[in-house]
Amino acid sequence: MVTNDPGIRPILELKDIQTYYGRSHIIQGLSMHLEKHEAVSILGRNGVGKTTTLRSILGLTPPREGRIIIDGEETSRWPTHRIITKGIAYVPAERHIFPGLSVEENLKLAERIKPGEDPWSMEKIYSHFPVLRAREKQDGSTLSGGEQQMLAIGRALMGNPIIMLLDEPSQGLAPILVNQVIQPILVMCVKSGLTLLLVEQNYRMALQVASRHYLMGIKGIMARTATSDELLADSTIIRDHLTV
């Protein structure tokens, strides 16, 4: 839930970041924020810098200028492994399932014990993704695309993060799988207190998961922000910013 209380700081802030690939200036002056327990999406056409935004947050493609603040601490110049210790999980579009490791081993590799009520555990992952229990001894890289996406999300949750970044989680998946498995688990994650930042081409799914949306134009410049209700009420916003 977004709050206007100045005493409550965002859990994630990007302030005027400038990110490059070599000499190519990909992100030019991007600023955005997420409140704690909020689900936000970045929507935009291919090539505008959505994935680069996630990589900037993680330090995989660190910004040359600007500030990234996670839970009150600036992480702009931190290495990726240190950023992850702040409680950040990443589900890349490529999924990056480790070949040669079973489903169970892929999950255990990311396990991070967290005290508190009902943390994510192997049993909890299997209860939400029963197909992974049935395949737990199978090489994770031999799963179907949909099963690999479940494994990638499950592996991220095993770290008991406070923020989860997802890059195109519906990419290449059958609509029925997105609607019946992927979308509901992400909605459940938000309800359980996780903060989500979602990059998506499938705006219909994004509207179901996130409550607020950044509409990204070229060079990572935010054209506008909108709520799900605003996007549903005015189809011209989607047409102007997302259609080819």
Measured CA to CA, the distance from residue 81 to residue 206 in angstroms comes to: 28
Provide the pairing of β-strand 212-216 with 222-227.
Answer: antiparallel
Going by the DSSP 8-state scheme, the letter that residue 11 receives in this structure is S
The full set of domain ranges for the chain reads 1-85+202-244
Amino acid at 216: M
103 φ/ψ angles, rounded to the nearest 5 degrees: -55, -50
Q: How confident is the model at residue 7 (pLDDT cuts 50, 70, 90)?
A: low
Q: Which CATH class is domain 1-85+202-244?
A: alpha beta
pLDDT at 244 (0 to 100):
57
Q: Classify each residue of 96-123 as buried b or exposed e, where b means 16 or more C-beta atoms within 10 Å of its C-beta.
A: ebeeeebbbebbeebeeeeeeeeebbbe
Dihedral (C-alpha) 145, 90, 209, 53: value to the nearest 10 degrees?
-110
pLDDT in tens, 23-78: 999 999 999 999 999 999 999 988 899 999 999 999 999 999 999 999 999 999 99
* Angle between helices 183-191 and 145-158 in degrees, nearest 10: 10
Distances (CA, A) of 98 to 85, 92, 104, 135, 140: 21, 13, 11, 15, 7
| Residue 180: both structure tokens together | 């019946």
203 φ/ψ angles, rounded to the nearest 5 degrees: -65, -25
C-beta of residue 50 within 8 angstroms of C-beta of residue 42:
yes
CA 244 to centroid of chain Cα atoms:
24
pLDDT in tens, 125-143: 999 999 999 999 999 999 9
pLDDT in tens, 133-182: 999 999 999 999 999 999 999 999 999 999 999 999 999 899 999 999 99
Which residues lie below 8 Å from residue 78, measured CB to CB, with a gap of 6+?
59
Largest CA distance in the chain: 50
For residue 41, give the nearest of 147, 160, 169, 161 by alpha carbon. Answer: 169
**3 pLDDT higher than 50:** no
Q: Give the angle subtended at the CA of 204 by the CAs of 201 and 208, to the nearest 5°.
A: 120
Going by the DSSP 8-state scheme, the letter that residue 143 receives in this structure is S
* pTM as predicted: 0.92
